[in-house]
């Protein structure tokens, strides 16, 4: 089955936008609706769109790594953020805050929840990718 040209073109147009929107939700999540989980789902649906348009090959080209990699990296990042709290003498996963003055962006407030949320994001994206690769590939046969 050849996917339609219209769908392929449309997906090409929105793919990056959806992906960026997912990342936006991830970073905005702490103060506005969003967060790692929702962001990950949005980014994941970008890949689902891509899969619908170009099949598994398109996914392989878009993410040329084993989908287990974001899965593991996300988990490691989330757990590592929790463990990093030990370095400051705090409890596991106890949150910390950091206020930075960067040259261009000005005052930036960062909490330790952000890397944790990035971990969640990566795990969710990894999950979607694994599903697309395995179940999707199964269905394509």
Is position 58 an interface residue for another protein (rule: CB under 8 A)?
Answer: no
Which tokens in the block code for residue 35? 């967060």
List Cβ neighbours of 48 (8 Å cut-off, separation of 6 or more): 128, 132
Is position 113 an interface residue for another protein (rule: CB under 8 A)?
Answer: yes
From 5-13, 41-49, 54-62, 100-108, span contacting another protein (CB under 8 A): 41-49
Which tokens in the block code for residue 85? 């709290």
Please tell me the distance from the alpha carbon of residue 36 to that of residue 116, in angstroms, as a whole number. Answer: 8
Find out whether 35 and 117 touch, Cβ atoms under 8 Å: yes
Which tokens in the block code for residue 20? 């960026």
* Binder among 19, 48, 59, 63 for another protein (CB under 8 A): 48
* 3-state SS, residue 107: strand
Binding string to another protein for residues 18 to 37, with x set by CB under 8 A, is what? -----------xxxxxxxxx
Size of the site for another protein (CB under 8 A): 49
Interacting residues with another protein (CB under 8 A) = 29-38, 41-42, 44-45, 48, 67-68, 71-72, 74-75, 78-79, 82, 92-93, 95, 97, 109, 111, 113, 116-117, 119-120, 123-124, 126-128, 130-131, 133-136, 138-139, 141
């Amino acid at each position: 089955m050849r996917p339609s040209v219209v769908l392929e073109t449309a997906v090409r147009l929105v793919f990056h936008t959806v992906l960026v929107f997912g990342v936006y939700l991830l970073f905005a999540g702490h103060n506005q609706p969003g967060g790692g989980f929702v962001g990950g789902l949005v980014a994941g649906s970008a890949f689902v769109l891509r899969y619908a348009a170009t099949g598994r090959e398109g996914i392989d080209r878009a993410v040329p790594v084993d989908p287990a990699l974001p899965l593991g990296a996300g988990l490691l990042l989330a757990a590592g953020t929790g463990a990093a709290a030990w370095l400051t003498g705090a409890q596991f996963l106890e949150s910390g805050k950091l206020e930075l003055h960067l040259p261009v962006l000005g005052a930036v407030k960062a909490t330790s929840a952000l890397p944790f949320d990035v971990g969640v994001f990566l795990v969710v994206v990894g999950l979607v990718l694994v599903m697309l690769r395995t179940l999707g590939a199964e269905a394509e046969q």
